[in-house]
């Protein structure tokens, strides 16, 4: 089993971001908005802020109280939309229940939408037009490229149909001429479907979802899960899958670092387009 480590692939994305940065007459500025003190959100936002500074971007984290109104959040976003010194805007998800995430996402200027979640960017992605791409799916493609995993003509099965991973990843895999299946919680005979996969992607958010009998021997397995289990970070793929897979991404140290690296690249790309 080949371990598909994210760090070296993430480094080449970061290198690309640094090089493009050199050719800009100003320093791009990433703004991350967080509501409340959910420990996972605090830790992810810190990771993004630290990496941004590390590669020489400006980074500001805006922390609003958990009980802030949706109107207050929208006012901040509209302010950042107007701000010439805000090139990337990211609102950390999940948001508290009294706030409608879709409304928030649609308020962000699509040119500054470094998450690639705005409907304009989603539409462009499916049309094959230039767009800001969602960080995790784009990171998955970059990881495949780095490890020379061929996608053209292959059976790619994605388990999970979220707007942030499953659906956009399907569009990106299609653009690479893969044959794409999206499976989900209602899929009948799930293991029959997953066993057809040359490349199997687990993006469900539940530990142990992918078990060895669901994997074709030798298949590439990409674990997008980030679950905290008894204080440990685990993916969606059961450890025993190592005995069957031809290649597997570790958690941590697999897709996670690719997501953060792509956010940095997106911030630079967004800044280039705002010149
Ligand atoms: N608007 C928005 N955009 C996001 O991109 C977004 C979000 N909300 N909400 C939460 C998820 C989750 N996410 C991760 C980022 C980095 C790692 C990461 O770097 N993980 C490390 C380990 C980090 C650790 O130890 O906790 C790894 O897998 O090696 C994981 C998960 C981005 N998300």
Give the whole-angstrom CA distance, residue 44 versus residue 36.
Answer: 13
- Which of 107, 259, 262 is the pocket-test mutation for ligand 1 (most atoms within 8 Å of CB)? 259
CA dihedral 70, 75, 81, 87 (to 10 degrees): -70
| Cβ of 236 less than 6 Å from ligand 1 | no
Q: Which of 51, 112, 115, 167 is catalytic?
A: 115
Enter the CATH code of domain 135-256: 3.40.50.720
Q: Note the pLDDT of residue 94.
A: 97
Residue spans in the chain of domains classed CATH 3.40.50.720: 135-256
Q: Is 253 in the pocket of ligand 1 (CB under 6 A)?
A: yes
pLDDT digits (tens, 9 = 90+) for 238-269: 999 999 999 999 999 999 999 999 999 999 99
Percent of residues in the chain assigned helix, strand, coil, to nearest 5:
45, 20, 40
Tokens 């609003």, residue? 64
* pTM for this entry: 0.97
* Positions of CATH 3.40.50.10860 in the chain: 25-109
With a 6 Å cutoff on the Cβ, whether 119 touches ligand 1 is: no
Instruction: Verify whether ligand 1 is closer than 6 Å to residue 259 (CB atom).
Output: yes
Task: Give residue-wise pLDDT tens across range 108-143.
Answer: 999 999 999 999 999 999 999 999 999 999 999 999
Q: 255 C-alpha to center of ligand 1: Å?
A: 9
Ligand 1 center from residue 257 Cα (angstroms)? 8
Kindly state the DSSP code that residue 204 receives in the 8-state scheme: S
85-110 pLDDT tens trace: 999 999 999 999 999 999 999 999 99
Domain range 25-109, CATH architecture? 3-Layer(aba) Sandwich (3.40)
Average pLDDT over residues 29-44: 97
pLDDT, tens digit (0-9, with 9 covering 90-100), for 40-63: 999 999 999 999 999 999 999 999
What ipTM was estimated for this complex?
Answer: 0.97
pLDDT, tens digit, 9 for 90 and up, residues 211-222: 999 999 999 999
Name the pLDDT band for 275 (thresholds 50, 70, 90). Answer: confident
- Whether the pLDDT of residue 17 is over 90: the answer is yes
Determine the Cα–Cα distance for residues 241 and 221; give it in Å rounded to an integer: 9
Mean pLDDT (the chain) is: 98
């Amino acid at each position: 089993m080949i371990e598909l480590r994210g760090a070296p692939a993430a480094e080449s994305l970061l290198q690309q971001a640094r090089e493009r940065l050199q050719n800009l007459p100003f320093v791009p500025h990433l703004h991350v908005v967080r509501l409340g003190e959910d420990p996972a959100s605090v830790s992810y936002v810190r990771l993004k802020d630290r990496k941004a500074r590390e590669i020489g971007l400006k980074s500001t984290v805006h922390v609003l109280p958990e009980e802030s109104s949706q109107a207050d959040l929208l006012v901040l976003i509209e302010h950042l939309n107007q701000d010439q010194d805000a090139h990337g805007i990211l609102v950390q998800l999940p948001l508290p229940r009294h706030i409608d995430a879709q409304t928030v996402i649609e308020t962000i200027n699509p040119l500054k939408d470094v998450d690639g979640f705005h409907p304009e960017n989603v539409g462009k992605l499916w049309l094959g037009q230039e767009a800001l791409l969602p960080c995790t799916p784009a990171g998955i493609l970059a990881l495949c490229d780095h490890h020379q995993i061929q996608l053209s003509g292959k059976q790619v099965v994605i388990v999970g149909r979220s707007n942030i991973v499953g659906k956009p990843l399907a569009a990106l895999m299609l653009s690479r001429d893969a044959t794409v299946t999206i499976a989900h919680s209602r899929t009948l005979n799930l293991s029959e479907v997953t066993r057809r996969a040359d490349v199997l992607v687990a993006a469900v958010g539940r530990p142990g979802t992918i078990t060895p009998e669901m994997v074709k021997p030798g298949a590439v397995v990409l674990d997008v899960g980030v679950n905290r289990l008894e204080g440990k970070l685990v993916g969606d793929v059961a450890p025993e899958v190592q005995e069957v897979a031809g290649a597997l991404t570790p958690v941590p140290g697999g897709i996670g670092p690719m997501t953060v690296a792509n956010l940095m690249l997106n911030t630079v790309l967004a800044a280039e387009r705002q010149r």
